[in-house]
Structure 1
Amino acid sequence: MNDREFLADRFEAHRGHLKAVAYRMLGSLTEAEDAVQEAWLRLSRSEPDDVRNLGGWLTTVVGRVCLDMLRARTSRREEPLEARMPDPVVSPATGPDPEQAALLADSVGLALLVVLESLAPAERLAFVLHDMFAVPFEEIAPLVGRSPATARQLASRARRRVRGAAPVPDPDLARQREIVEAFLAAAHRGDFAGLVSVLDPEVVLRADAGALSGGLREVRGADNVAGQALAFRRHAPSTAHAALVNGLAGVVNTVNGEPSAVMSFTIAGGRIVEIDILADPARLARLDLAVLGD
């Protein structure tokens, strides 16, 4: 084995961790892969013998790459970050494969990713690296061009926002599935009261059908969400396939055998508090939805 092959093997040992960092930073599976590949290119051009902690070094490199990518989104005057549904990770209802499990460690549901999308790039970096991956503020500070104390403040602001906006899901997956099935059954029956009974009064539904269809839209309140669910079922009859979406109970809807939407349900206190739907045909086509074959 030559030196480059040895270096590549060392890098591959960290790939899953690095993709997990990048996914939390970017909310995009494709961009996360790009960020990890850029980290490899930078490693291959460096002097790795001078790196004492390769995993830590690669984590900060990926963080810097992701920060640059987030800032580039802003400089290109793209849509606001909060106006886009993050990419879902869809697994069979029986459980994720090892790669997906590594990507979703610590239960990174879509509800949390939606909140992360709304953070300023530096806040997101400080929160993700410190709170999710235990990177010291002394190592984060140079990435954002601030002092360690300021980096700590960035993470603190992000933490308050996350705690205030991202619900903590109930951990019982079987109970999650029961509630989702009750929601789907009520929608199928046209049972408005049945829908409201499984929805939190302050439930939020987010649906992203793509830029050509108006982008990300929100519906709030149990009555409004129940009404939207009934309207959707009447105008777009579909078949629901049980799945895990970012580790939580969800479904993949199909129309005539083709994926039409991925739905994630966040359940807290025994009721549905958030429903996140990706229905953008272009983005659905890029997802691995092999779960439909089960």
Structure 2
Amino acid sequence: MGTAGTSTDEIAGERRQLINVAYRLLGSLAESEDAVQEAYARWYALPRGRQDEIVSPGAWLTTVTGRICLDVLGSARARRERYVGAWLPDPLPDRAGRDHGHDTDPADQMILDETVTMAFLVVLESMTPAERVAFVLHDVFRYPFAEIAGILGRTPAACKQLAASARRRVRAERTPVSVTGQADAVRQVKKAWESKDIAALVDLLDPAAVMTADGGGIAGAALRPVEGGARIAQYMVAIADKAPGLELLERPVNGMPGLVARRGGTVMTVAAFDIADGRVTRIWAVRNPQKLRPWGRERQEPPAGPGVTPGDPPGSW
């Protein structure tokens, strides 16, 4: 059965699914949108007769998007070696907290669940491109290994092994935490940070905690991770001393409680957290303004009180 009755609207309706697949594969909204646009370009370049032969245009588009993402992942390692400082996935805002949502904005089409948390995406970054494609398509989107095999150019059995290897990585590196538990920890961090209470911060941070910042060479950020709860606490208080008067707000980041620092309504830093046993084990701070564009329309609120942000001074985040 072909697709002679498939309308342009039906084809366009696949975009949300494709954006969600691509973002989980790439961790970049811009690259995800480019991959999906390229997949659509290839669809519309097909002769009508060939389009009519395709039983499921959605599956075809997903397959093509997966292949494009695989190529992008293959070249990403070299590009990220040239990146200034650490590279982190693009942080996703909660659409409800923004003034204007646009259906054409990739960030507005994201389904926020545990598979887009910053902690999960960072684990995905540790995988090989083939592992990541096999795991995301099968474990997250439930695509059969027979279809994934066509994307990876491997046997279904080999794809199953890749997904199993990726699954072990996730289990080894991820400690699930409830939204409520994370919100409580993040709220305490915000309170201690605003009051510049080093002792309280040290108590909230795991002794082996790591803070990683992404400025992309555009915004000031520590080029190497800051390791150790005590060092991170001292660093955060030093930032507070250098950048007073900015708002520090609790906001969902990739569907989990996080912190946003802004000045005059402009978001300067988005921080995501990982929590284990009630203490912060990882902080990921994104300052690259190119990655913060989806946050530019965040709703304005009256300041709740004195705040701090890892903002403009040299050495911030």
Instruction: Give the TM-score range, shorter chain.
Output: 0.7 to 0.9
- What's the counterpart of residue 237 of structure 2? 230
2:133 aligned residue: 125
Matched, 1:191 2:197: yes
Which residue matches 1:28? Answer: 28
Amino acid at match of 2:234: G
Aligned twin of 1:56: 59
The residue that corresponds to 2:308 in the other structure is none
5+ residue gaps, structure 1, are none
Q: Distance in 1 between matches of 2:69 and 2:259?
A: 30
Partners of 2:98 and 2:174 lie apart in 1 by 23
The answer to whether the 8 A contact 2:213-2:221 is kept is no
Q: CA–CA distance in 1 between the matches of 2:195 and 2:94?
A: 27
> How much has 1:10 moved relative to structure 2?
1.1
C-alpha contact (below 8 Å) 1:206/1:275 kept by paired residues: yes
Give the C-alpha shift of residue 153 in structure 1: 1.8
- Counterpart contact for 1:20–1:104, Cα < 8 Å: no
Q: Deviations over 1:194-224 (max 9, x none)?
A: 1122223333221112236577532233222
Indicate the RMSD between aligned Cα atoms, in angstroms: 3.0
Distance 1:108 1:58, change over 3 A: same
1:217 to 210, 213, 224: 224
Contact 2:216 2:288 in 1 (8 A): yes
Distance 1:83 1:163 in 2: 24
Rate the CA distance shift 1:269–1:34 in 2: closer, same or farther, 3 A: same
CA offsets 1:150-204 (integer angstroms, 9 cap, x no match): 11222222222222223323232xx433322211111121212211222233332
TM-score by length of 2: 0.80
Structure 2 residue 91 is the aligned partner of structure 1 residue 88 = yes
1:258-269 equivalent positions in 2, closer than 5 A: 258-269=266-277
User: Shift of the alpha carbon at 1:37?
Assistant: 1.0
Q: Paired residue for 1:15?
A: 15
Aligned to 1:180: 186
For 2:191 and 2:78, how far apart are their aligned partners in 1?
45
1:59/1:169 Cα in 2 relative to 1: closer, same or farther (>3 Å)? farther
Q: How many residues align?
A: 289
Measured in 1, the distance between the counterparts of 2:95 and 2:58 equals: 30
In proportion to residue count, which structure has more helix? 1
Query: Is the Cα contact below 8 Å between 1:104 and 1:247 reproduced in 2?
Result: yes
Q: Residue 116 of structure 1 corresponds to which residue in structure 2?
A: 124
State the partner residue of 2:250: 242
For 1:52, the aligned partner's letter is V
Q: 2:145 aligns with which of 131, 134, 137?
A: 137
The answer to whether the Cα contact below 8 Å between 1:18 and 1:59 also exists between their aligned partners in 2 is: yes
One-letter code aligned to 1:219: V
